[in-house]
Amino acid sequence: MTPAAPRRHRKAAAYLGALAGLSLALAACSSGGGSDPAAYPEDDIEVIVPFSAGGPTDTVTRMVAEPMAEELGVQLVVQNVDGAGGTVGAGQAATAEPDGYTVLMHHIGMSTAPALYADLAYDPVADFKPIGLVTEVPMTIIARADFEPDTFEEFVTFVQENADTVTMAHAGEGSASNLCGLLLTDALGVDLTAVPYDGTGPAMAEIVGGQVDFMCDQTTNTTGQITAGEVKAYAVTTPERIEALPDLPTTTEGGQPDIQVSVWHGLYVPAETPDEIVAKLTGALQVALADQGVVDQMADLGTAPVSADQATPEAHAALLEEQIATWGGIIADGQGG
């Protein structure tokens, strides 16, 4: 029979054991919130959409969430955290545990926020890891159904001649509709009364209701209303016409080649998320983008999934940095003028 250890030795052993346990816990936390990258995912994943439910980014997110969930074997739960042009939801995602259980879906606004907000609470490059691009959505210029101009050329002339009375809706500073509006007013050389809304849903409702004159917004939010005749459509802001709206001319056809913009979307996780987890999410995204149901849904709304080589962290990171530089100059010029 082994003699019992002296009490002080037992206390020392207990202390060392507790210390070892604490070290293991700290090591687990530092590797990503205590989760095991090899076992990931073991629970549902929250996908933060920093805009209102029913808007274009929400629509894109829900298209890819289901096939991604099937591939990962867990649910992807969409949470709409809107406010301040997407910066509230993005800020929440930036400070989440880097364990792969909080993912952010954001659009072009991720690249414009540094120029728009002097006190931005996060760095789009330093505080996130890109997972991959999802889609690049064309924009359309639409108006209330009884707006006077009938063609895009007539629209341009009318807006220039009536700039003091024409109203332009957008979904808040930093939103895609706001950015497209900045390009449009700059190209036409006008100052218009901008009417901001808390998301594209309310803005579209006001367009349909005739309370505001026009808006520039993504096809994922406008195609249904255009085909139903609830709004008047003037142009699409891409170099070529789109299959979903073949009769809608491009801004270039209407003599305004400088009004060209499309809205890219991508997925992100907090910067310290392990690369193994990022790789699993990227793989699931690529499976989702190849899903025929997703392809068909996007086609119905005037867009398409990006190619497999764009749905990667590397391509996504390169585009983000390039777009931050591009939009920084455009926004600075607009604010300076």
H or E stretch covering 259 = none
Give the integer Cα–Cα distance in Å for 93 and 21.
29
Who wins on pLDDT, 258 or 7? 258
Is residue 127 over pLDDT 70?
Answer: yes
Is residue 17 over pLDDT 60?
Answer: no
Domains and their CATH numbers in the chain: 45-136+262-336 (3.40.190.150), 138-236 (3.40.190.10)
Q: What is the pLDDT of residue 15?
A: 42
pLDDT > 90 fraction of the chain, expressed in percent and rounded: 69
Mean pLDDT of 184-208: 92
Categorize the per-residue pLDDT at 131 as very low, low, confident or very high, splitting at 50, 70 and 90: very high
Q: Which of 5-9, 270-274, 287-291 has the lowest mean pLDDT?
A: 5-9
Q: What is the pLDDT of residue 326?
A: 85
Is residue 2 over pLDDT 60?
Answer: no
Q: What is the pLDDT of residue 333?
A: 67
H or E stretch covering 235 = strand 231-236
Q: Letter for the amino acid at 248?
A: L
Q: What is the pLDDT of residue 176?
A: 83
| Cis before 3 (ω within 30) | no
Categorize the per-residue pLDDT at 98 as very low, low, confident or very high, splitting at 50, 70 and 90: very high
Tens-place pLDDT, residues 31-64: 444 468 899 999 999 999 998 888 889 999 999 9
Q: What is the pLDDT of residue 35?
A: 61
Any idea what DSSP says for residue 250?
Answer: B
Asked if 137 contacts 219 with a C-beta cutoff of 8 angstroms, the reply is yes
Record the pTM. 0.77
Categorize the per-residue pLDDT at 248 as very low, low, confident or very high, splitting at 50, 70 and 90: very high
Tens-place pLDDT, residues 145-178: 999 999 999 999 999 999 999 999 998 877 889 8
- Please, which residues bridge with residue 262 across strands? 138
Mean pLDDT of 107-136: 94
Residue 206 CB neighbour total at 10 angstroms: 18
Give the integer Cα–Cα distance in Å for 35 and 276.
12
Tens-place pLDDT, residues 204-241: 999 999 999 999 998 988 999 999 999 999 999 998 99
What does each C-alpha distance from 125 to 68, 118, 313, 317 come to in angstroms? 24, 16, 12, 8
